[in-house]
Amino acid sequence: MDQLGVHPSQSYSRGSQEKALLAQTIGQAFDNTVARYPEGEALVVRHQQLRYTWAQLAHAVDLHARALMALGMRPGDRLGIWAPNCAQWCISQFASAKIGVILVNINPAYRSSELEYVLKQSACQWLVCAGAFKSSDYHAMLQALVPELAEQSIGLLQSERLPHLQGVISLQAQPPSGFLPWSQLAALGEAVTAAQLHERQHSLHFDQAVNIQYTSGTTGFPKGATLSHYNILNNGYMVGESLGLSAADRLVIPVPLYHCFGMVMGNLGCITHGTTMIYPNDAFDPLLTLATVAEERATALYGVPTMFIAMLDEPRRQAFDLSSLRTGIMAGATCPIEVMRRVISEMHMSEVQIAYGMTETSPVSLQTGPDDDLELRVTTVGRTQAQLESKIIDATGNTLARGQIGELCTRGYSVMLGYWNDPQATSEAIDPAGWMHTGDLATMNEQGYVCIAGRNKDMIIRGGENIYPRELEEFFFTHPAVADVQIVGIPDSKYGEEIVAWIKFHPGHCANELELQTWCKRHIAHFKMPRHFKFVDEFPMTVTGKIQKFRMREISIEELKGSKPE
């Protein structure tokens, strides 16, 4: 037994206790950084051509916090934000936190029905929205959803479909009638004094809810993970500590702010260390991201695997000097080993780390370290983060022996307060002992490093054999023509399930189905060989870059109907 009373052969680990947690609200942490580095560069938004020092950002945040108070927003009220990455997103995040308002992150890709569900389920009082993004006309969708906007006074909205909504703040310079322009918030803020803001801010405590993030909702309706100041401030801080961030670092954030990766690991990781936040564009673009890294002399870069693959395969990559890069994080999806190796060798990210987690755990619960050797960084998702616990259990809830595969569970400061207004779903996810059940299959080795085998629901059972998509995906990455691959299972009358491999090739490379089948026969067991191949340029994915395997299954099933021999 160790000092915790845990047998070393058990799949249980406890992160380092050396770093103390921050007993602060987000507003307090923000103000502390502003006081330390007033003239340091805080925020660079390339596509808007905006730059803020910490003092300038603090001025904008405080003015908009006062404006939200002038609109009548009280602690516990909900402010929705429906916009791509921009300066106003960052300002809204910190302004709402300073006055105890809960920011509700709304996926920029949502359409009308999804928007209506989230606004209604969270009972948002106000919404900040862009005018449009990609193919979505936000104003038109809102006008159809809330026709009363054009007819009623701004701030006094009475909507039949959204009874809690009081008004909409538009980021567009001249929005349609009924929308409050963002540009008018500064004047509204003058009606509330700095002393009133100070009094409000100091009435808050760090265990209060500050953020609602809706899970992807691949089955049923999305659920609103409710997160406190303590949850997300500390998670951003611990991620930054692992990366060794400081005021000398400059972090490029091409991942969406509406997701934990952007707003917690990005923004909050930066404000707890005085690190510069850099947004290369409103949405990910490989060329713009590479240009931003080079021209801003960035030291750190975040991204999901698909983003790093796109940057590595960008034909003009060699034109950009990426030598300033030191570290960063690859997360948000399974990180292919070959991609990790190339990021280290070709993008100068010698200290890049893997992070694993989920929205409900703020998000990071496992992370590789700066001193981990390459093999550990490319084959595991690291060890339990500081001040957290991890265990791997069987179907009955018993902790498994090291090396055995089971469900990964997390406990500690990062576990959400619960799903917003959904106690049943909360109790299904968090057990009475406080463990968050991730639904992911994993193993833990003797040193406490964890390997993710995939989602419980993604495991393929073919002819009685358990097949883990992650293992097969890593195998296909060793083929010289394969840039990215996703493995899914589809129903089969004979074997129960069959394997489908979705393959994306490197530019200028290709292979046909027969070549890949022959290659598989030489290297892997017959039962792991994909029955079907689908060659694609892109995978179905969320705006955060997460692969939608459920959509791939649906597409594969539909396309293969009637194609099987009798």
545 in the same domain as 517: yes
Of 206, 256, 274, nearest in space to 234 by CA: 206
Domain count, the chain: 3
pLDDT at residue 42, as a whole number: 99
The CATH number for 524's domain is 3.30.300.30
Inside any domain, residue 89: yes
Interatomic CA distance for residues 78 and 100, integer angstroms: 9
240 in the same domain as 328: yes
CA atoms 460, 466, 468, 474: torsion sign: negative
Inside any domain, residue 249: yes
- Find where tokens 């755990």 sit: 361
The CATH number for 102's domain is 3.40.50.980
How many CB atoms lie under 10 A from the CB of residue 566? 2
247 in the same domain as 307: yes
Phi and psi, residue 432, nearest 5°: -60, -25
509 in the same domain as 476: yes
232 in the same domain as 138: no
CB-CB contact of 204 with 25 (8 Å): yes
Inside any domain, residue 195: yes
236 in the same domain as 171: no
Token pair, residue 308, equals 């790093």
Token pair, residue 329, equals 């994080």
Provide the pLDDT confidence category of residue 216 given band limits of 50, 70 and 90.
low
Interatomic CA distance for residues 243 and 370, integer angstroms: 7
329 in the same domain as 233: yes
196 in the same domain as 85: yes
User: Which residues form the domain of 140?
Assistant: 26-34+52-205
Whether the per-residue pLDDT at 85 is higher than 80: the answer is yes
CB-CB contact of 318 with 325 (8 Å): no
The CATH number for 250's domain is 3.40.50.12780
pLDDT tens, 222-275?
Answer: 899 999 999 999 999 999 999 999 999 999 999 999 999 999 999 999 999 999
- Find where tokens 């701030």 sit: 155
344 in the same domain as 250: yes
Domain final residue, candidates 388, 421, 455: 455
CB-CB contact of 53 with 40 (8 Å): yes
Token pair, residue 69, equals 């108070």
CB-CB contact of 25 with 39 (8 Å): no
Whether the per-residue pLDDT at 219 is higher than 60: the answer is no
425 in the same domain as 469: no
pLDDT tens, 39-73?
Answer: 999 999 999 999 999 999 999 999 999 999 999 99
Inside any domain, residue 272: yes
Interatomic CA distance for residues 196 and 62, integer angstroms: 11
Of 451, 380, 450, 385, nearest in space to 414 by CA: 385
Inside any domain, residue 47: no
Domain final residue, candidates 150, 176, 205: 205
Pairing of strands 41-45, 276-279: parallel
Inside any domain, residue 2: no
259 in the same domain as 197: no
263 in the same domain as 350: yes
Of 483, 182, 476, nearest in space to 308 by CA: 483
Inside any domain, residue 169: yes
Contacts of 520 (CB under 8 A, 6+ apart): 528, 529, 530
Q: What is the DSSP string of 334-381?
A: ---HHHHHHHHHHS--TT-EEEEE-GGGSSEEEE--TT--HHHHHH--
469: exposed, middle or buried (Cβ count in 10 Å: 0-12, 13-18, 19+) = buried
pLDDT tens, 90-113?
Answer: 999 999 999 999 999 998 988 888
Inside any domain, residue 12: no
Residue 479 DSSP symbol: S
Query: How does the average pLDDT of the chain come out, rounded?
Result: 93
Interatomic CA distance for residues 286 and 291, integer angstroms: 9
pLDDT tens, 274-305?
Answer: 999 999 999 999 999 999 999 999 999 999 88
Domain final residue, candidates 425, 455, 485: 455
pLDDT tens, 433-480?
Answer: 999 999 888 999 999 999 988 777 787 878 767 787 887 888 899 999
- What's the pTM value of the predicted model, to 2 decimals? 0.86
Phi and psi, residue 467, nearest 5°: -120, 125
